[in-house]
């Protein structure tokens, strides 16, 4: 049974996570896709192609991506190379304290350049990427012409 995991499943956006795919056939070619929808409903995604090792595993921190959104060994590449489906959109988090970005990770058999509703992933999981740690208080600042926010630790 194929399984994709993100460890830790919930983390701050600037913290590294480990992505692992297990249960593949040795040397199986797969597509790893990350996708998220921002607060304005815009979709962002990245996809990379990997060949499983002799144990049937893929680890972007150890195994090089063969192509797609990036190539080479980039442990966090699947997150760093998220691109908008609509040109000229930027990935910006407005509600930094209220909710995380939910990044869906999916593994597909073979090289999948485009996936449609009929394409079923071999495995999937979801990662939470928070922008403010637990207990941090956000205080809006409005002083003269200065605008900003002060983040106070717990």
3-152 under CATH 3.30.1360.200, yes or no: no
pLDDT at 104 over 80: yes
Placement of tokens 């394409």 in the chain: 119
> How many Cβ atoms sit within 10 Å of the Cβ of residue 20?
15
Look at 66-70, 110-114, 145-149 and tell me which has the smallest mean pLDDT.
110-114
| Residue-level pLDDT at 37 | 95
Placement of tokens 């637990």 in the chain: 134
> What are 22-51's pLDDT values in tens digits?
999 999 999 999 999 999 999 999 999 999
pTM for this structure? Answer: 0.88
> What are 117-140's pLDDT values in tens digits?
778 999 999 999 999 998 999 999
Quick check: helix, strand or coil at residue 86? coil
Distance between CA 68 and CA 81 in Å, rounded? 10
| Residue-level pLDDT at 75 | 96
Q: How confident is the model at residue 98 (pLDDT cuts 50, 70, 90)?
A: confident
Q: How confident is the model at residue 116 (pLDDT cuts 50, 70, 90)?
A: confident
Q: How confident is the model at residue 107 (pLDDT cuts 50, 70, 90)?
A: very high
| CA dist 83 → 19, 27, 48, 69, 141 (Å) | 19, 28, 12, 9, 32
Which residues touch 111 (CB under 8 Å, ≥6 apart)? 29, 31, 49
């Amino acid at each position: 049974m194929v399984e994709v995991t993100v460890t830790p499943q919930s983390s701050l956006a600037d913290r590294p996570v480990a992505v692992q795919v297990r249960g593949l056939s040795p040397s199986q070619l797969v597509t790893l896709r990350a996708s998220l929808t921002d607060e304005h409903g815009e979709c962002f995604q990245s996809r990379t192609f990997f060949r499983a090792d002799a144990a049937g595993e893929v680890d972007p921190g150890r195994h090089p991506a063969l192509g797609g959104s990036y190539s080479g060994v980039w442990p966090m590449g699947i997150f760093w190379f998220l691109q908008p489906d609509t040109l000229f959109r930027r990935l910006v988090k407005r509600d930094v304290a209220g909710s995380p970005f939910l990044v869906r990770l999916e593994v597909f058999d073979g090289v999948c350049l485009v996936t449609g509703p009929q394409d079923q992933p071999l495995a999937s999981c979801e990662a939470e990427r928070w922008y403010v740690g637990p207990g941090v208080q956000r205080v809006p600042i409005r002083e003269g012409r200065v605008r900003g926010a002060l983040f106070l630790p717990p």
